[in-house]
Amino acid sequence: MPLAETTNFGTIFFSPESVFEFPHGLPGFEDRRRFLPVQNPRTAPILFLQSLEEPSLCFTTLPILVVDPQYQLRIVEQDLEALEFPVDLQPRIGEDVLCLAVLSLRKTGTTANLLAPVVVNLKNYKAVQAVSQESGYSHQHFLFPQEEPVC
């Protein structure tokens, strides 16, 4: 079983078939292609995406429906192709794809990126960060609105 060195979790064993493969990387990290989903029962439903190419690179995510139960996923043609889906059908969250919101921890509060969810094809584990067009979703959606500065 392969091993990965990670800054956050130490050395971890993983099975190669559980790796998410981003054919185009992620915006800002175009050359990072392989990420391992890591979940700790004590911090579920948080899911970490640990880079297998850069030990210190780790994203913290939540299933997007935990953040917004009404979330409407719309993926552009180019991303559907990268996920190896037919371009004329939108995949369904939970049935066809895993859909995750990347969290940012800022001084003003925790935000989730709803503009660009990480979408993983559950059949082949191909993944993209799908930047949506004209969705109206924010890349800095406050997780807990009461944390939003009142001014």
Partner 1 sequence: MMSRRQGETILIGDDIEIVIAHIGRSRVKVGIRAPRRVQVVAQEVKLVGDENRAAAQAPSAEVLQLILAQLRPGPHTLRPRPDEESVRQDAGTKN
Residues 106-145 close enough to bind partner 1 by CB under 8 A: 106, 110, 113, 115-116, 129, 131-133, 139-140, 143-144
For partner 1, the binding residue among 2, 5, 18, 56 (CB under 8 A) is 56
The verdict on 103 binding partner 1 (CB under 8 A) reads: yes
24 binds partner 1 (CB under 8 A): no
Residue pair 85/121 in contact by the 8 Å Cβ criterion:
yes
Decide whether 17 or 42 has the Cβ nearer to partner 1: 42
The amino acid at residue 6 is: T
Q: Find where tokens 């925790």 sit.
A: 110
143, 46 in Cβ contact below 8 A? no
Selection from 151, 67, 50 nearest residue 111 by Cα: 67
For partner 1, the closer of residues 74 and 123 by Cβ is: 74
Report the residue number, 26 or 95, with the smaller CB distance to partner 1.
26
What's the chain's length in residues?
A: 151
Closer to partner 1 by CB, 15 or 133: give it.
133
Cβ density class 56-71: b for 16+ within 10 Å, e for less? ebbbbbbbbeebeeeb
What type of residue is 56?
A: S
- Name the site residues for partner 1 (rule: CB under 8 A): 7-8, 26-29, 43, 45-46, 48, 56-60, 62, 66, 102-106, 110, 113, 115-116, 129, 131-133, 139-140, 143-144
